[in-house]
Structure 1
Amino acid sequence: MKKFLGPLVIIIAIIAIIAVVLFSSKNGFVDAEEDVNKAYAQVENQLQRRLDLIPNLVNTVKGFASHEKEVLSNIADARSKLAGATTPEDQAAANDQLSGALSRLLVVVENYPELKADANFRQLMDELAGTENRLSVARQDYNAVVSDYNKKVKRMPGSIVASIFGFDEKEYFKADAAAQDAPVVDFEGDGE
């Protein structure tokens, strides 16, 4: 009986060590995944802040530039797409469309010096600029924690634990390819 007791204790000790390592690694993945979720929630928070500011900005501009309906319509459409986007990829694409529409709005604003002097407009533009900065930082923070998480999922022995417990890689918040092209600001009106 003593012959079997020694190997049995060793086997139980090895199983206990493996279990402790597995569950410790799983808890590390849970923590890392929650960090990703928290960072993404901050991106969504800033996107929501942006969505909340835009109607006020558009209404202020409407008062001064009622004939610029196409620009304002494009902003409203882009805002709706961003509000309805659910994945990081869809949100990134909608975000880029909205950024382009807001860039065109700034060109319209240049044509209305009295609008730029309006205190409400200036305050809204400052809020929007602050939101854009916060959004940029939130996307950067999100991508940093996604990078850490994805490294954990891909590296050994984490890849084994990740596959056992179903932890998959997360998507980065990526800009649309069209975002690489700077918007054209044309004060001459010929579109070239």
Structure 2
Amino acid sequence: MNRAENAGAGQAWGTGAAGTAEAAPQQVRLVYQLTRRDWREALAARARVSRAARWQRRLLLVCLASVVCCYAALLIVAPERFTVQAAVAPVAFLLALLVLPRLRAAQLHRLTERNGALTVVAAADGLHVAHRLAAGHNSWQATPRYVETARLFVLLSGDPNASHLVALPKAGVQDPGGPDALRAVLDGHLRRV
């Protein structure tokens, strides 16, 4: 369906060139394949919303600070006992903090890459998803909120840990209205966070 076909739907969406009200798009089609960068951005958006991810990040930072303080105290109190091997632990800890999100994104990319390009239709009853191996439906109730990033719309489940996510790249929108059309559909069904 295009906007002209939806004009009688009764939902004001914008003003056309002639000054007439246009209807909100009833569905928007996307075709895309998620990249590692997309997965990193989606996981980062989820981490900002997820209670568990925020606590995990805080705990890791507290542990890192504790390890650094212990090594600093050891260096002050007994510098002769401080070795190069002892300095490796905080550096390894810091590297783990920086590398683990990239490893998770790479793992998710490998898992989804074999499916090929996704075709998603955001419609009144939810998302209709199809790829080379399967097709399915995701209702709006499964992902009642979303986060918009620079490149993605990240749909999240309603639980405090955002255990379910769907990443929709803006570049994949096939509708002439582009990301604005998808945003209009999402705003009509989901809560932006």
Q: Which structure: greater strand fraction? A: 2
Give the number of the structure with larger relative contact order, counting CA–CA contacts within 8 Å between residues 6 or more apart: 1
TM-score by length of structure 1 reads 0.30
